[in-house]
Amino acid sequence: MFKNLVIYRATGANGVPWEADLGDVEAALQAGRFLPCGATQPVSSGWVPPRRGEPSRDAQAPLVESVGGQWVLRLMVEQKVLPGAVVKRRVEELARQAEAATGRKPGKRQTKELKEEAVLALLPQAFTKQASAFVWIDPRAGLLMVDAGSARRAEEAATLLVQALPGLSLRLLQTQTAPATAMAAWLVEGEGPAGFSVDRECELKSTDEMKSVVRYARHPLDTDEVRAHVQAGGKQPTRLALTWKGRVSFVLTDTLQIKKLSVDDGIAEHGKPRDADEGFDADAAIATGELRQLIPDLVEALDGEQPVT
């Protein structure tokens, strides 16, 4: 179900634990249901039923699903697509018209205004693209996870939730030891922390002005060459592939993002469901069940969570 995770600590006012009722969250999100872009609206975002992810199929379907006490939401973002070349041609056409009317070429300020005019005129004809992201809330642990490949998309979902849910405060999860520092130690030692094994993918980046990068893919990492890059070469790991207890594989980044999540096939196929609804419940139960154990172990491997100051 989840491919990437950006992890937030969810707290209430003044740093106290956040407490919320499932029904209250559902009611609060109703006002932010997804609506497609209007004719001249460049982007639209909102919540869709996570079980289906298609707002047109059931306008009454719940926006929050609870599976084993874990809450799953889904954010949909629709964006108008305007190729730069198309906008450029339209701006040039408008600029020629303006020059013919006034006898002089448009300056920077007028060109900017012409571009805005061109975009506004072209938006109703533009194609749209949609992308969705699951959001997982573990209310008991006080954690919120966004399945997003970029910090920007995760921040968008977090911002919408903070705006919709009074009293909710979110901050990126931070650990006592920086992931880059811990990953460097694991590479030098040639093994991961308890419960984790180092796989065959990593990215190393120098901290000097050269910003040189070395990437390994499908390559042993317990080698003198890799250790030399870290110890003598002044390179810090920015990505490292790990496996947790032989059950979940992922790539850890230096910003504590989890990428390329993959649950072991034997676990994922256990009790294969008969229909789509059962499939959603099974996927959510397996994913959250595994990750609810993995995340605390990862935080412990990084010497615990950094306290709120």
Tens-digit pLDDT profile for residues 114-133: 999 999 999 999 999 999 99
pLDDT tens-digit profile of 68-94?
Answer: 999 999 999 999 999 999 999 999 999
CA 220 to chain centre: 28
pLDDT for residue 123: 93
* Band of residue 53 on the pLDDT scale cut at 50, 70, 90: low
Over the stretch 131-176, which tens digit does the pLDDT of each residue have?
999 999 999 999 999 999 999 999 999 999 999 998 999 999 999 9
pLDDT at 58 over 70: no
**pLDDT at site 21:** 92
> In residues, how long is the chain?
309
Q: Locate 156 and state its tokens.
A: 């968008």
* pLDDT at residue 200 tops 80: yes
Among residues of the chain, what percentage have pLDDT more than 90? 83
pLDDT of 233 reads 78
* E strand or H helix at 73: strand 70-81
213-217 β-sheet, strand order: 213-217, 196-206, 235-244, 248-253, 258-263
Q: What is the mean pLDDT of residues 210-219?
A: 91
Question: What is the average per-residue pLDDT within 254-266?
Answer: 94
Do the beta carbons of residue 254 and residue 180 sit within 8 Å? yes
Non-local CB neighbours of 232 within 8 Å, separated by 6+ positions: none
Helix (H, G, I), strand (E, B) or coil at 149: coil
- In whole angstroms, give the CA distance from residue 95 to residue 91: 6
Q: Which two tokens stand for residue 262?
A: 């993959």
> Is 309's pLDDT higher than 80?
no
Stated as kind and residue range, the H or E segment containing 181 is helix 179-189
Give the pLDDT score at 162.
Answer: 95
What amino acid is encoded at 256 in this protein? L
pLDDT at residue 56 above 60? no
- Is residue 270 pLDDT above 80, yes or no? no
Looking up tokens 């676990």 gives: 267
Per-residue confidence (pLDDT) for residue 34, from 0 to 100: 94
* 105: three-class secondary structure by DSSP: coil
Residue 51: pLDDT over 70: yes
Higher pLDDT, 272 or 43: 43
* 3-state secondary structure at position 18: coil
Cβ atoms of residues 167 and 199 within 8 Å: no
Asked if residues 77 and 45 have their Cβ atoms less than 8 Å apart, the reply is yes
Tell me what the pLDDT averaged over the chain comes to: 92
Overall average pLDDT of the 210-234 stretch: 91
